[in-house]
Amino acid sequence: MRITINHVAKKAGVSIATVSRVLNGTANVDALKRLRVEEAVQTLGFRPNSIARSLSRKKSNTIGLIVPTIVNPFFNTIAESVEKRASEKGYKIILCNSNNDALNEKKYIESLLQNQIDAFVIISDNKIDQNFNVPVVFLDRYSAVIGNSHPIIRSDHYKGGVMAIEHLIKKGCKKIAYIGKEKINPQKYERIDGFLDTMEENKFQPIIQFSEYNYEAGLEAAKLLLDKHNDLDGIFAGNDLIAYAVMKEAFNRGISIPKNLKLVGYDNIMFSELITPSLTTIEQPVENLGKLAVDVIVDILNDKRIMKNDMVLPVKLIERDTTK
């Protein structure tokens, strides 16, 4: 038999309204009645219907987190950080993997809105034409939301690009290439912008091979790049997965890293320290990105003013064996 709020009220000897007030914490209830309700709930094993409660309270204490992929450990780590902070603040997380598909994102957004989601944290490169009517924070990158006035929390990717190339030049590299995604935003904030500007400042000819941010695409890009430029001595990979692909292709061709080719990745996912040779990479403050996203969401939900919409966190270079 399914236990309902009626059973709890009868067991506690109080009205259904009193049980509802105790469960929802919406009004003061006599201490003795509250105790009787709490004992009845425990004795009967009653579990409130969270969907019904969210409909009545117009609040679900739930945040939707939409990520482009769960294959890349970088996004797993962000999700863990968001979930941990949300739990500390009394919120649950619903994780949605969009596969970086705009239609999937739209479906998830509409579905969660219909289920009384309180807010969203979204990581996306896609244009999102959506009237949210709930707080939204965009994380890690700009998303071309039409009429976007939502907060954006991101790493200083431009500075990361600069740091990577300055490090390769410092290590004596003369012919340096970038493997990564095409530029999607007119503003100079992406890692490719840092690459291009630093190459120009040092009067180096930039070499670019575009690739999606996954291992398979990175492997194809590495093959194309090294077919065209077998004398490269430095590569800046747009993320660590691409860097792993470069390492694989270099090994297949008998190119020694770091003796003949120096390599810098981006993100500092957990495997980058464990592989051989260990990967020099640009580290993003993943834990702080997730924590700040939740803090901003909670502040907005509590009607606190957000001082600025574009929040940029610093990155740092982690030097390891691939550039030594």
pLDDT tens digits for range 298-316: 999 988 877 778 899 999 9
Report the 10 Å Cβ neighbour count for 148: 15
CA 91/CA 117 separation, integer angstroms: 11
Examine the domain organization and report whether 163 and 204 are in the same domain.
yes
**By three-state DSSP, how is residue 311 classified?**
strand
Let me know if residue 54 belongs to a domain. no
CA distances from 224 to 33, 107, 161, 208, 209 (A): 73, 36, 22, 11, 8
Examine the domain organization and report whether 77 and 132 are in the same domain.
yes
- Residue 38 structural domain: 5-48
Q: DSSP letters of 103-156?
A: HHHHHHHHHHHHTT--EEEE--SS-------S-EEEESS----TT--S-EEEE-
Examine the domain organization and report whether 225 and 142 are in the same domain.
no
CA 225/CA 251 separation, integer angstroms: 15
Let me know if residue 17 belongs to a domain. yes
Contact 211, 241 (CB under 8 A): no
Query: Among residues 151, 134, 123, which one has the least CA distance to residue 307?
Result: 151
Per-residue confidence (pLDDT) for residue 67, from 0 to 100: 95
Let me know if residue 218 belongs to a domain. yes
Let me know if residue 86 belongs to a domain. yes
Examine the domain organization and report whether 216 and 114 are in the same domain.
no
What tens digit of pLDDT does each residue of 239-270 get?
999 999 999 999 999 999 999 999 999 999 99
What tens digit of pLDDT does each residue of 129-164 get?
777 888 999 998 765 555 567 889 999 999 999 999
76, burial (CB in 10 Å: exposed 0-12, middle 13-18, buried 19+)? middle
What tens digit of pLDDT does each residue of 38-77 get?
898 888 888 776 545 544 555 789 999 999 999 899 999 9
Let me know if residue 249 belongs to a domain. yes
Domains of the chain: total: 3
Examine the domain organization and report whether 252 and 163 are in the same domain.
yes
Report the 10 Å Cβ neighbour count for 2: 6
Examine the domain organization and report whether 144 and 67 are in the same domain.
yes
Reading the block at residue 185, the tokens are 């935003």
Q: Tell me whether strands 280-283 and 316-318 are parallel, antiparallel or unpaired.
A: antiparallel
What tens digit of pLDDT does each residue of 186-228 get?
666 789 999 999 999 999 999 999 999 999 999 999 999 999 9
Question: Helical H runs in the chain?
Answer: 5-12, 16-24, 31-44, 50-57, 73-88, 102-114, 157-170, 191-201, 215-228, 240-252, 286-301
Q: Per the omega criterion (within 30 degrees of 0), is the bond before 277 cis?
A: yes
Tell which phi-psi region holds residue 222, choosing left (phi > 0), alpha (psi between -120 and 50) or beta: alpha
Contact 283, 264 (CB under 8 A): no
Residue 26: which pLDDT band, with cuts at 50, 70 and 90?
A: low
Per-residue confidence (pLDDT) for residue 285, from 0 to 100: 96
Strand order of the β-sheet with 207-210 is: 207-210, 176-180, 234-237, 262-267, 280-283, 316-318
Query: Among residues 151, 187, 173, 193, which one has the least CA distance to residue 306?
Result: 151
